[in-house]
Structure 1
């Protein structure tokens, strides 16, 4: 077990070094990276699409990388905003790493970009441990997911610079207890700002964009660590602790699957006319493309 821990720590240390270098490089270019984390179905893509559209409307140069295990559906949706969008296909990898972000940006990111939004894989476990060179980390949660989510995923919520609730128009029907949710967030991340949003009504969209733009000139004052803080439970458990408290920097993940292409420096895919660029595709902004299945590579 100690050897596994050492290997994972080494992987994370290497990633942190790459992330620091990427952050410094992009900061010199005037680009701020915003890393968005949430579970699947939280409404992250819809909210991001609204934020991108608002930025385009205001003349703010933004771009987005969006990651999924498969399909380019989210890139198509985000491209409707008018912002440059690129898809990252992970083929089963449950998170993004700094090396993947860097390689997807090479020869693609428009020179005048002010904010690069990175929509991470829908997952609140693995992505929480990987710094992507961001200056702002946003963790999102739909009001339909339950007030105890921050306690179940303390590494994700504990490493956030900003916590965002989504689908707030459903708070009443879902019986969402906002006071309990805020108390739970404070338990794992005292001092973090919490913003309420609703993509359907537009509530909170400007606030999220303003927080992202503010980090261009100064990082968030609130900068929690990526690793979970030690804590004493004071009670016993009937189930093993294998995964319960090692979500952040202590487990080695063995995926046990094969890939049609590599994760980090994927071989170029054939051009898919009308599809958002991914992996090795050339640099070009994306109009809203038709929704057609991608040919097999």
Structure 2
């Protein structure tokens, strides 16, 4: 009889294999993926919009996928930058997976794209477990969320190759302790770069684009090593040969522990039964927004 742990490992192993294949295929055409993780309201969309606008100003061919449970609000905002943008609706699923990214870009991603930014679902738990074929993984946190975020979400920050702090202009007003935040990041991810940004003042503008282009040009990226402490919250991980560490907190038994099923399985939390995930809306400045459905998950 197959155990839940075995199923979980199989699900993540399949995702990792697909992610590695996607990474290699995109690298062969000169494209890298940047996976952006944060909680809702961190300012991720605003920062990305500014980076996309900067890329267009510099004539750097980039594109963006933004994922959400519902609405295409984020894609509408990002499309103002004047670059190709695709909205993926996850139909209640709390994260993206490599297969979803592959289906999204099929026939859509321009061949000359150097950087594909993926704005993951606003969540610091589920997305941390899934490699999307990225070359650069970025974790973001706003100063309004407090200094303990890296300790509360050690997988999200512990696997990051770049940490961005947003809304830095509000740091004094909310009493943000930068030194404490940096110490907490260092605890879960020694040596990772931490950069303060502000969409309002322009602090840190271009850092994300610059790091993405460096990755695209082959600059070696930070290799996270999860901090080993006596704190159980920082030790529940399993490791893969590709250098990624994944959260053991998500149990897959034909579906997620949180009630979200895959590939036509029931979605207990949201009441969906038999639905596949993924709806795509393509946004351009010069045309109405067409909607292109994306197929659901392949059966497991």
TM over 0.5: yes
- The aligned residue for residue 232 of structure 1 is 230
Query: Is residue 288 of structure 2 the alignment partner of residue 274 of structure 1?
Result: yes
Partners of 2:230 and 2:36 in 1: CA distance: 29
- The aligned residue for residue 284 of structure 1 is none
| Cα RMSD for the two superposed structures | 2.5
- The aligned residue for residue 216 of structure 2 is 216
The structural deviation recorded for 1:232 is 2.0
Partners of 2:213 and 2:293 in 1: CA distance: 27
- The aligned residue for residue 263 of structure 1 is 277
> 1:261/1:276 Cα in 2 relative to 1: closer, same or farther (>3 Å)?
farther
- The aligned residue for residue 151 of structure 1 is 151
CA contact under 8 A between 2:39 and 2:124: conserved in structure 1? yes
Partner-residue secondary structure (3-state), 1:93? coil
> 1:260/1:52 Cα in 2 relative to 1: closer, same or farther (>3 Å)?
farther
> 1:160/1:27 Cα in 2 relative to 1: closer, same or farther (>3 Å)?
same
After superposition, what is the alpha-carbon deviation per residue over 1:240-275, rounded to whole angstroms, capped at 9, x for unaligned? x8x9957813431242241685115x6x89x9x722
CA contact under 8 A between 1:161 and 1:223: conserved in structure 2? yes
After superposition, what is the alpha-carbon deviation per residue over 1:45-87, rounded to whole angstroms, capped at 9, x for unaligned? 0000000000001100000000000000000000000010000
Aligned residues: 267
CA contact under 8 A between 1:66 and 1:86: conserved in structure 2? yes
> 1:214/1:277 Cα in 2 relative to 1: closer, same or farther (>3 Å)?
farther
Partners of 2:248 and 2:34 in 1: CA distance: 21
Partner-residue secondary structure (3-state), 1:59? coil
Partners of 1:261 and 1:275 in 2: CA distance: 24
The structural deviation recorded for 1:222 is 1.3
Partners of 2:125 and 2:108 in 1: CA distance: 29
TM-score (norm 1): 0.84
- The aligned residue for residue 127 of structure 1 is 127
Moved over 3 A (4+): 228-231, 243-247, 276-281
Partners of 1:150 and 1:65 in 2: CA distance: 25
Gap regions ≥5 residues in structure 1: 235-240, 282-297
After superposition, where does 1:155-194 map in structure 2 within 5 Å? 155-194=155-194
The structural deviation recorded for 1:233 is 3.0
Higher relative contact order structure (alpha carbons within 8 Å, sequence separation ≥ 6): 1
- The aligned residue for residue 39 of structure 2 is 39
After superposition, what is the alpha-carbon deviation per residue over 1:90-146, rounded to whole angstroms, capped at 9, x for unaligned? 011000000000000000000110100000000000000100000000000000000
CA contact under 8 A between 1:50 and 1:202: conserved in structure 2? no
After superposition, where does 1:51-90 map in structure 2 within 5 Å? 51-90=51-90
- The aligned residue for residue 22 of structure 2 is 22
- The aligned residue for residue 263 of structure 2 is none
- The aligned residue for residue 288 of structure 1 is none
TM-score (norm 2): 0.83
CA contact under 8 A between 1:61 and 1:114: conserved in structure 2? yes
CA contact under 8 A between 1:163 and 1:192: conserved in structure 2? yes
Partners of 1:260 and 1:165 in 2: CA distance: 39
> 1:207/1:179 Cα in 2 relative to 1: closer, same or farther (>3 Å)?
same
